[in-house]
Amino acid sequence: MADPQSHLDDVDQLMVEMGRAMINQDWDELARLNGQVRPMIEPLMAALESGALDAEPVRTRLQELQQLVDTANQSATRARQEAQEALKGVNENRQAAKAYQSVSSNRSK
């Protein structure tokens, strides 16, 4: 069985990596890291339940992790909305260019 402190260290490292991915807006990496949350929390909770860890450091980490995940979700949603708006703008520009081309073609005839 792993040292209970190593479970806390693993969660700390995960949060560092998630924070780095958010700063870099690396949504693929953030999704990958998000998939590691549950497998990392399960042994932490088992150590807590067995009495190998005090409740306070676990509670603190879980609160910090929840805040980080919430912030990441908000950031990803905002980035997705910005991408949708940019795509909408590109489509509008493309339609305007086609309309101009159509008008210009008809004029030269």
Per the structure, the count of domains in the chain is: 1
Domain that includes residue 35, residue range? 4-107
**Max Cα-Cα span within the chain:** 86
Angstrom distance (rounded) from CA 94 to CA 46 = 57
Structure-token pair, residue 1? 């069985």
Angstrom distance (rounded) from CA 71 to CA 18 = 10
The residue with greater pLDDT, 97 or 40, is 40
Mean pLDDT of the chain: 87
Please give the average per-residue pLDDT across 33-57, as a whole number: 93
What is the pLDDT, as a whole number, of residue 108? 57
For residue 107, name the pLDDT band (cuts at 50, 70, 90).
low
What is the pLDDT, as a whole number, of residue 65? 94
What tens digit of pLDDT does each residue of 54-71 get? 999 999 999 999 999 899
Whole-model pTM above 0.85?
no
